Structure 1
Amino acid sequence: MMVSHIEPPPQVPQTPRRPPSVTSRASTTRRHRSSRSQHTTSPQAPLNEFPVFAHTGDVEIVISSPSGRKEQRYLLHSIILGQCSSFFAIDTKRPPVPNALPAPGPAALLRIGETNSSRSSLDSTDVRRWSYVLDWHHTTNNDVPRLIQRPPSQSPPPVSRNKPPASSSAFFRSMSNLSALSLNPQPVAPPGPDDELLRDYDNLFRIFYNFPPTLSNINIADAYTESKALLHLAQMYDALDVVGSRVDHHLLGFQGRLFKQIARYPPSYLKLACLAKSRVIFTEALIHVVGQWPQAQSQLVNHIDPLVLDIIEDKVQELEDMKLRIEIRLFRLTLTTSRGERVNPSNGYLDWMAMSLFRQWLAENTTPAPVSILKNSSRPSTSDAVSASASVSGRSGRQSSSRALVTTKPAIPQQPQSSQSLGRVYRLMGSTNKEAYLNHDECKRFLKLTPEMYSRDNLKRFERRVDELKNLARDAVKPLTRNFLELDLSSVVPPSSAGRGSAAVPSTGLGYLTCTKVLEDDFPWNG
């Protein structure tokens, strides 16, 4: 018993006397053995995630370029494709071609490090598949190729690995040294048509699986182009209900930049909104189109649903009826005397002149000038107010002023106002700024045409009566000056306003009316 207790101590100090190489090799061996045991427990089977669901996917889709140099493979689920697309819902009801994929042999299993248990799991997950490829043979140059069924491929899908194969550290060091020698990297080539096609199909399937599409979030023009291509692709596969909401959400993220872009190209965004079923974009674009009508008519006829054209025409007619009612009300504006009588040349000539000036300005800015019969006629157009002044020119005390109203040309030559500038005219009338139109200089210039009527007191009274008419006009044009756009009109730079009756015209934004109200029944997809 004593010997047995004494013998172990001599063996203890023998362990540190081993050569260093043996000790390091043993520890290294232990580390490698432990790491190998850890990796053998990790799954070596193919991954079951987007875009290749190797375990549960039953629809194989191959998106390739015409030359076949670029290719993307998907292994997706028929139930998800059918829920998102009516095309796949109908097409996958037909039985697929029996899958002839052979089970991987023992040599292949040894190469990828598979075990018998993993092989049995692959055999159990080998399901019948539908297989789709792009039909390039029946596609013209300007069309997008469609997916057609084909027999499943005879080669098994590539096995996804969780880690790269083992390689020596010296190889990676040499590759890093070679990559460091590249001092002049080549510029990235712009995406070609093949890249755009692969991107559109990838975005389509990403949305099916509730992934955000890879659309531009910096350039609004690029985002529009990519969204338009994606929506047309979704229309081919009857998947607009799913794709449209994601495109709408992405474009609305641009906020103010989107609304400015819609103001530049309203017909294009109206067509896009109909595909995406976007309420905000449709409302914004429709208001612009109605206000500019018929400017966008050529871009929409035969290029959009006839129901949308009917909605536009109805809104245009409603706007014209509103303008007619308000114009009649404006021309009927009148002043009264202190006794409550309507002003006329006999009971208040100066006040009547203020009414004549207001109606003259209104007529020249809201109605086109009459076409003259003479080729070189430079005679200015006359209004009802001028005709009324000419009818009373027989009065002795006021004959010269009546002639001045008829024969004198305005200080700035007037141009006929088109429908594209009527909105600016009505916004001038709805402005609270007294100098917006018929300001002090214009009143003074007009009153000087009648020297016997011009005085400082008469000028003040004349301006006061003109301001009364402008206040009445401001209330009358309120329905036309409403803005139902999300766009802030103060941020819009108006075009040159040369040729206007006012000496200085403030910024009033867009030249057309934006008071069209879009109701719930006006959306074409609700009809």
Structure 2
Amino acid sequence: MVSQMELEPHNTVVRRGPSSVASSSRRHGRSSRHHRNGSFVSNEFPEFTHTGDVEILVKAGSRTNRYLLHRLMLTQCSGFFEASTSQQWSRATEEPPRRELARIGEDSGNELARREVKKRWIYELDSGTGKDDIPMLVQKDNTTASIFGSNDGRPPIPATRSKPPSSNPSFFRSVANLSLSHAPVQSPISPEDQDLLTDYDNLFRIFYNYPPALDAIDIASAYIQCKSLLTLADLYDALSVVGPRIDHHLLQFQSRLWKQIAKYPPSYLKLGYLAQSKTIYQEALIHVVGAWPSGERHIRHQLPDAVLEVIENKVEDLEDMVSRIESKLFRLCLVTSRGERVSPHNSYLDWLVISLFKQWLIDATSPPPPPAPRTNPPPSRSSHTHTRHPSTHSPTISATHSNAPSTPPLSTLGHTFRRLGSASPTYLSHDECKRFLKLSPELYSRENLKRFERRMDEVKGLAREIVRPLMRCGLQGGPAEGVTYLTCTRVEERDFVWLE
């Protein structure tokens, strides 16, 4: 429970009773508690009893977390609280003034201060009436007593009694046994309700510059927690405050984070956008563009139009770049010792090298051929009563061609260009060259095969230089293991859409 947490207070000076001293700073580790009539009243997160003016009740299942926070802090961190506590929408009521003894600092003597009249706002979590309703804080009129039984949010003051003699140990044992026997037993709540309480607690902890309770070991669990917290922050217009905390937490996973982004780029692209994390957003965007159109349907339903526009522009730029590189590859040629382009007339064997390379390039960069059209089987003797019209039931060649893609997707082309740009190419190996040359028995010999392979290595070297611009890697973690698509997309400042 939040009310049971022992947290360090912020750097604030608070009013204390005659028997206490002023709080200095959170680094001193002093408990900001006020002694009043024999009871200690907390004045630290999550309940600033003496200075808080916004009461928030978050109920999930059988449990309720209570917060007594400051309007100034909430409005600085959340657009929701800034609007709902404004003069136009506010439902705050004024607390009646009361006179109390307060010590202002340690050297202020016995000054008497009258507490000023201040407003109080109350919010409660409304789960809605529908099954799909999103729980949301709703501002309530301050006309009913709080859960502590008083309108001012203070715990009730117990009646003073004379202190028993300290030499009677049986009294303390009886009191301890009595308190244990009457201790309230909390009923268990569902994991969903617990997650909801944790999300709200993390949200308010971040508002007060406390670290959120997020998994620091399992990155999969951390992702789920961060995504849920960001969704809540988006609901209350607090992404600019919560996002940096999420970014800082996830970046601590380092290499494990890069591997997760490579496995689930669309999901991390949305998370990076919500967290306003340049690093996560850029890493995921490079993966999404390189693997396009993989995950396109999921991306179009999950991301805003501004991010979709960035993706489409990057895909178009990459396609243009690939098209220019592909054109250069098909114009690639060898020259003779006299500096002439090889042809069947001046160097037939070298021309065969170029022909084999370009045929391989065509096969690797072209979509698969359409399937052969199916033909209707000949009608059986008993089928004369069940004739079918061929125009409605038989597929045609033109329909098959109309559904075939004109070019393969970027992910397929990326795999081909990565093979071309490899320092140790695995395409058109010794066996393939040998098998091709044997198709012309009059040319096949050991010397011609060596020359053929030597010239093929020259072609591979020229192709490697042509595709070099596509081999650039923009990923933070370097080339990701198992990634076959292109990762050369450049992400510029204007692509971070939340900065506009």
Relative to the length of structure 1, the TM-score reads 0.70
Paired residues of 2:95 and 2:120 also in contact (CA < 8 A): no
The Cα of 1:77 is off from its aligned counterpart by: 0.7
Give 2:424's aligned amino acid: N
Tell me the alpha carbon deviations over residues 184-232 of structure 1, each in whole angstroms, 9 at most, x when there is no partner: xxxx989622111111111111111011111111222221221122112
Give 2:65's aligned amino acid: Q
Determine the structure 1 residue equivalent to 2:444. 454
Greater alpha carbon shift after TM alignment, 330-339 vs 151-160: 151-160
> Structure 1 residues 204 and 152, CA, compared in 2 at 3 Å: closer, same or farther?
farther
In 1: Cα distance, 2:437 partner to 2:117 partner: 96
Tell me the alpha carbon deviations over residues 254-284 of structure 1, each in whole angstroms, 9 at most, x when there is no partner: 1111121112221121122221111111111
> Structure 1 residues 50 and 452, CA, compared in 2 at 3 Å: closer, same or farther?
same
Paired residues of 2:233 and 2:242 also in contact (CA < 8 A): yes
Determine the structure 1 residue equivalent to 2:318. 319
In 2: Cα distance, 1:488 partner to 1:71 partner: 47
In 1: Cα distance, 2:20 partner to 2:371 partner: 95
Question: Structure 2 stretches of 5 or more lacking a match?
Answer: 1-17, 22-33, 101-108, 158-162, 182-186, 376-406
Greater alpha carbon shift after TM alignment, 352-361 vs 84-93: 84-93
The Cα of 1:82 is off from its aligned counterpart by: 0.9
- Is 2:476 the counterpart of 1:486? yes
Paired residues of 1:283 and 1:518 also in contact (CA < 8 A): yes
Give 2:74's aligned amino acid: L
> Structure 1 residues 77 and 428, CA, compared in 2 at 3 Å: closer, same or farther?
same
> Structure 1 residues 309 and 417, CA, compared in 2 at 3 Å: closer, same or farther?
closer
User: Which residue of the other structure, out of 41, 45, 55, is the alignment partner of 1:60?
Assistant: 55
Paired residues of 2:293 and 2:409 also in contact (CA < 8 A): no
Greater alpha carbon shift after TM alignment, 481-490 vs 274-283: 481-490
Determine the structure 2 residue equivalent to 1:12. none
In 2: Cα distance, 1:360 partner to 1:160 partner: 88
Paired residues of 1:130 and 1:152 also in contact (CA < 8 A): no
In 1: Cα distance, 2:218 partner to 2:371 partner: 50
Greater alpha carbon shift after TM alignment, 290-299 vs 135-144: 135-144
In 1: Cα distance, 2:43 partner to 2:207 partner: 16
The Cα of 1:329 is off from its aligned counterpart by: 0.3
Determine the structure 2 residue equivalent to 1:82. 75
In 2: Cα distance, 1:190 partner to 1:129 partner: 30
- Cα root mean square deviation, aligned: 3.3
Give 2:138's aligned amino acid: L
- Is 2:115 the counterpart of 1:124? yes
The Cα of 1:369 is off from its aligned counterpart by: 3.2
- Which has the higher Rg, Structure 1 or Structure 2? 1
Determine the structure 2 residue equivalent to 1:220. 219
> Structure 1 residues 357 and 516, CA, compared in 2 at 3 Å: closer, same or farther?
same
Tell me the alpha carbon deviations over residues 451-495 of structure 1, each in whole angstroms, 9 at most, x when there is no partner: 2211111111111100000000000001111111123435x2xxx
Relative to the length of structure 2, the TM-score reads 0.73
Alignment of structure 1 residues 11-410 onto 2, 5 Å: 43-45=34-36, 46-65=41-60, 67=61, 69-94=62-87, 96-99=91-94, 124=115, 127-138=118-129, 140-151=131-142, 153-154=144-145, 155-156=149-150, 157=153, 159=155, 170=173, 192-371=191-370, 373=372, 375=374
Partner of 1:487, secondary structure, is coil
Give 2:69's aligned amino acid: L
Tell me the alpha carbon deviations over residues 325-352 of structure 1, each in whole angstroms, 9 at most, x when there is no partner: 0011001110011111110111111111
In 2: Cα distance, 1:257 partner to 1:452 partner: 57
Percent identity between matched residues is 48
> Structure 1 residues 242 and 347, CA, compared in 2 at 3 Å: closer, same or farther?
same
Determine the structure 1 residue equivalent to 2:484. 511
Partner of 2:418, secondary structure, is helix
- Is 2:403 the counterpart of 1:430? no
> Structure 1 residues 365 and 266, CA, compared in 2 at 3 Å: closer, same or farther?
same
Paired residues of 2:268 and 2:281 also in contact (CA < 8 A): yes
User: Which structure has greater strand proportion?
Assistant: 2
Paired residues of 1:481 and 1:514 also in contact (CA < 8 A): yes
Determine the structure 1 residue equivalent to 2:3. none
Partner of 2:423, secondary structure, is coil
Partner of 2:490, secondary structure, is coil
The Cα of 1:302 is off from its aligned counterpart by: 4.1
In 1: Cα distance, 2:99 partner to 2:447 partner: 106
In 1: Cα distance, 2:427 partner to 2:330 partner: 17
The Cα of 1:430 is off from its aligned counterpart by: 0.8
Partner of 2:55, secondary structure, is strand
In 2: Cα distance, 1:102 partner to 1:153 partner: 18
Paired residues of 2:437 and 2:443 also in contact (CA < 8 A): yes
In 2: Cα distance, 1:229 partner to 1:56 partner: 30
